[in-house]
Amino acid sequence: MASITDTFHIDTVVADVEEAMAEISALTRMTRHSLQSLDRDRLLDGEAASTSVRSTYPVQDTVQLELANGTKGSF
């Protein structure tokens, strides 16, 4: 059986990462790092596809609440 430890990282996929950043920052008073982008090509349903993921993490906090959004097949 897996040993469950303290939570460190929570990944949350959102429809609009800028809107989520604004809402969560206002509620929690967390400062977030600037958005990071990861663009790559991969196979999706047997076809070549370009995917893009944008994400951000809080500057302070022990639990890293990542906010991310991306194109179909990015995750």
45 located within any domain:
yes
Inform me whether the pLDDT recorded for 40 exceeds 70. Answer: yes
Tell me the residue ranges of DSSP E strands in the chain: 9-13, 36-44, 47-56, 64-70
Which band of pLDDT confidence, cut at 50, 70 and 90, is reported for residue 61? low
Contact (Cβ atoms closer than 8 angstroms) between residue 62 and residue 21: no
Model confidence pLDDT, tens digit, residues 1-34: 667 677 777 888 899 999 999 998 898 888 888 9
- Give the C-alpha separation, 65 to 72, whole Å: 22
DSSP β-ladder status, 36-44 and 47-56: antiparallel
Q: Is the pTM of this model over 0.75?
A: no
Tell me the residue range of the domain where 42 lies. 9-70
Whether residue 3 is contained in a domain is answered as no
In a domain, 23, yes or no: yes
The answer to whether 67 touches 14, Cβ cutoff 8 Å, is: yes
Residue 4 counted as domain residue: no
Q: What angle do CA 60, 62, 68 make, to 5 degrees?
A: 70
Number of folded domains that form the chain: 1
pLDDT in the model for residue 54: 92
Mean pLDDT for 49-63 is 84
